[in-house]
Structure 1
Amino acid sequence: MGVALEQFFIFVGLLACLAYLVKCVRFSKCIFLHFWKVLPRSFLKSMGQWAVITGAGDGIGKAYSFELARQGLNVVLISRTLKKLQAIAAEIECTTGSSVKIIQADFTKDNIYEHIREKLEGLEIGILVNNVGMLPNFLPSHFLDTPDEIQSLIHCNITSVVKAFVCTFSKALQAEYKRKGIIIQVLTPYAVSTPMTKYLNTNMVTKTADEFVKESLNYVMIGDETCGCLIHEILRSFLNLIPSWVLYSSTFQKKYMDYLKHNTNTI
């Protein structure tokens, strides 16, 4: 019995060491890709002549639109605000020379997909950046009468559930389609200064949308999920060491909300 128990603990220890070794290899790859670009500049363009970006009117979606156009791709911008799309399209065409198409669509509605399909018909699409950020339509209306702090926590919790679903679903798709040469990757960044985050003050951890997008494109081949930049990978590794009951405690949540308030620019 004693020998069997000893062998069991040895086996568990080896599994733990193997898990940490895999994490170290992944982290080393992130460090390498942060300083050295492995993918040739033509790689993204080789996937197809067009890139489609949803949520292209602001923030990360807008930054991807410009960066992919700089990489030589033509871009299709999808968002609900037509004036923003027209202004961004004109600027991209003027500064990069890439062709731009715009599709006005509100992803809170269900009857938009046939319209989008018709607009995309005939295009050689190699890249899709699915950047639509929205809360589910079933958010109960009585939450609107609650204090701002409680509303923020409710929105964060619901959004976390939606993100968890999208992450799991995307990984399942990648497992199914990887053999066909299709790359499906989930980006899970932390702080990025965008209109959605009310323009958080930038620092070593909080990136501008342009900074984040440029770095994230280096990690296209690193795996089915990535934070998109080295500093966020480091932050995730650190947060994974903290017990979940600490992260979800009322004290931690209050500190986090205070941090957001003090690091948000007033527009």
Structure 2
Amino acid sequence: MANTPERLRTQQRAFTAHLRDPAQVPAPPGMDPRRVAVYQRLLFNNLLGLLSNGFPVCVRLAGEPAWSALVRHYFASHRCHTPLFTELAAEFVQWLQAQPALPHPALAELAHYEWVETALYQLQADPLPEPGDIDPLQVPLQRSPLAWPLLYRWPVHQLGSDDAASQPPAEPTGLLVRRDADGAVRFATLTSLAVHLLTLIGEAPGATGQQQLQQLAVLHHLDPETLTAPGAQLLQQFLRAGVIGPLSASP
């Protein structure tokens, strides 16, 4: 029959709509409810297991019942743009960031924090070469692609524990996430100014450390002289850790 392919597509869409949201969308007529239930459990449990394994601290913070309900809502309402399970976590983080209400107000930031570790571990990028003996104040700098400065409203590195904060603190939480030469992903706390400094270096590679510190002072309405000594020390620390390097040394 001429309309068979379209009819099949209609049936498939109706079936998958039911699998996504069985509580709201009825199954197409003529299907065995027991067999349909097998597909429902299989698909949802696969997604729930994948996201729970990828975001274990989020599960603890939200609680398993609320987490399961959240994943169910995601499954029913979101249309994925990737067929790859390895990229599904990134879409889930973006979806969380767009939700008006979550089981815990820090959940979207915490999910991003948990996702970062996997994303950085899988990132196809090389560390910066050894910088040699240089003065980071005087040479054009770049930030390593394996070093990510992050700023959160919530202390994401402390959430999920029994004494986790229920309200965001007055000051944001700055973090540096980097992948070392041995492949290990490590986290360190930073001040907001340090996060902003690394962000500037990443956004405008080629400026010297002195220029970056001057720009930072202007943006934060500070006296540039007050940043020179502590800024030079911080840049040296970043240089030794491979977080930044001279732009001319890039391969």
Length-normalised TM-score, structure 2: 0.29
Length-normalised TM-score, structure 1: 0.27
**Which one has a bigger Cα radius of gyration?**
2
